[in-house]
Amino acid sequence: MTNGLVSGPGSGPFVRDCPGARDPAALPSRPVTHPTQPTQPTQPEPAAGSRYHLPDDPTGAEHAVLVLGRAPGPQLHLLDVGATVHRLRVTGGDGERRDVALSHPTLAERRRGDAYLGATIGRYANRIAGARFELDGREVLLGAVDRGHSLHGGPEGFDRARWQVLEHGTHHAVLTLHSPEGDQGFPGAVDVQARFEVDDAALALTLTATSTADTVLNLTQHVYLTLAGAGAGTVDDHVLTVPASRWVEVDATGIPAEGPLPVPAEADLRAGERLGDVVRRGHPQVIDAHGIDHTYVLDAEPDGDGLREHARLADPASRTVLTLRSDQAGVQVYTGNFLDGTLHGLAPDGGTTLLRQGDGLCLEPGAFPDSPHHLGEPGWTDVRLAAGESYAWRARWEFAALD
């Protein structure tokens, strides 16, 4: 999910795209595909455990990129600003190495037009209606960034902060962030820890947090995925399976009027559907969002490890399949609806490419949108975090060859 036109302190105006944040008639048309980019890197991959800097901050005064893992397994390039998945290189089923995550080439581009590419989101992923809610009889006022609503934590959410690096090894990194009392309007001072790990076939992320006062919290990871490789075209031909018979319907501004409802046949992903077909079937919910931008409510209970399958994404061209597993109740499926060609992404050859609608798919495990307005109501996710209690969020992105 992405949002509208806001201003950040010290950064000037910046654009965060979202359904409805711009007049759809004013958006440039999108070609169905882009010219295919080369998938092989032009330079060797950096060493596991190393770090480097983006070209517009060569001394690392404002950031660092941490490298985890090595070929043939996944290699994660982790940007400390936003605890961001900057690059994610995997070996496809066809034997090719590819970047499967969209990213910005520079810090300046990220600040100029943040679409939350790869960022860790907080304090509240998704929308809160009217940028306000009540907690124990107290009105909490938040920063509005999207048509009068709070989105992804507000104008200066966790995606904008530089996280502190606590540990960095060859296959893991631990980052921390202190969010002070009243940050973006939210109660309590919150301390968050993010542990990223890579193994032979997967990326794992564990998020934990505590608060000094009762508050609400809903974290997620906003990586845009494309198994064909960043810059290689849209995800229209990817086949997405989500084991969910219910979803959360929303109004034209992304706010639900009620709890989970049965998924309509046009958007049912349980049997596996080509993404381009789902987007073009014309269900009113999908039309209003200019694509899929909805929370699917998982049917299955967690497995023995506490995780359940959220989604399976397959790309026939690269013969690669991704299985996302998490401990969360829902997964926000977002088809990059308002990537409109105004932002630059990193291309496989080290250059840049324009990011357009459908270039990547976000699968965001988390709670339902606007849950703070439904605290204690049956059928809604419980996003209340009491003072001194521990919050936990886990997910695994598992890569394999497509049979």
- What tens digit of pLDDT does each residue of 324-362 get? 999 999 999 999 998 999 999 998 877 899 999 999 999
Predicted confidence at residue 8, as pLDDT, reads: 34
- At residue 359's C-alpha, the angle toward residues 354 and 364, to 5°, is 125
Annotated catalytic residue 109: no
Is residue 306 a part of any domain in this protein? Answer: no
Predicted confidence at residue 338, as pLDDT, reads: 84
* Tokens describing residue 52: 């480097």
Q: Which residues contact 29 (CB under 8 A, 6 or more apart)?
A: none
Is residue 326 a part of any domain in this protein? Answer: no
Is residue 402 a part of any domain in this protein? Answer: no
pLDDT of residue 113 exceeding 50, the answer is yes
Q: What percentage of the chain carries pLDDT values higher than 70?
A: 90
Chain mean pLDDT for the chain: 90
Is residue 241 a part of any domain in this protein? Answer: no
Predicted confidence at residue 266, as pLDDT, reads: 97
Is residue 140 a part of any domain in this protein? Answer: yes
Annotated catalytic residue 222: yes
What is the C-alpha separation between 190 and 386, in angstroms, rounded? 11
Q: What's 217's domain CATH number?
A: 2.70.98.10
* Tokens describing residue 73: 């397994």
pLDDT of residue 32 exceeding 60, the answer is no
Is residue 249 a part of any domain in this protein? Answer: no
CB atoms within 10 A of CB 276: 16
Q: Are 166 and 174 in contact (CB under 8 A)?
A: yes
Q: What average pLDDT does the segment 38-60 reach?
A: 83
Indicate the pTM of the whole model.
0.89
Q: How confident is the model at residue 28 (pLDDT cuts 50, 70, 90)?
A: very low
At 388, the amino acid letter reads G
Least confident range of 23-27, 253-257, 311-315, 378-382:
23-27
Q: How confident is the model at residue 104 (pLDDT cuts 50, 70, 90)?
A: very high
Q: How confident is the model at residue 26 (pLDDT cuts 50, 70, 90)?
A: very low
Catalytic residue among 156, 273, 309, 364: 364
Q: What average pLDDT does the segment 265-283 reach?
A: 96
Catalytic residue among 63, 222, 238, 344: 222
Q: Which residues contact 217 (CB under 8 A, 6 or more apart)?
A: 122, 123, 124, 190, 209, 211, 383, 385, 391
Q: How many domains does the chain have?
A: 1
pLDDT of residue 23 exceeding 50, the answer is no
Q: What percentage of the chain carries pLDDT values higher than 90?
A: 83
Is residue 141 a part of any domain in this protein? Answer: yes
More confident residue, 23 or 291: 291
What is the domain range of residue 89?
Answer: 5-233+334-396
Is residue 292 a part of any domain in this protein? Answer: no
Q: How confident is the model at residue 42 (pLDDT cuts 50, 70, 90)?
A: low
Torsion, CA 373, CA 378, CA 380, CA 381, rounded to 10: 110
Q: Are 365 and 298 in contact (CB under 8 A)?
A: no
User: Distance of CA 148 to CAs 2, 180, 254, Å?
Assistant: 14, 24, 11
Q: Is the peptide bond before 123 cis (omega within 30 degrees of 0)?
A: yes
User: Distance of CA 46 to CAs 38, 50, 80, 87, 141, Å?
Assistant: 19, 7, 17, 12, 44
pLDDT of residue 1 exceeding 70, the answer is no
Predicted confidence at residue 19, as pLDDT, reads: 34
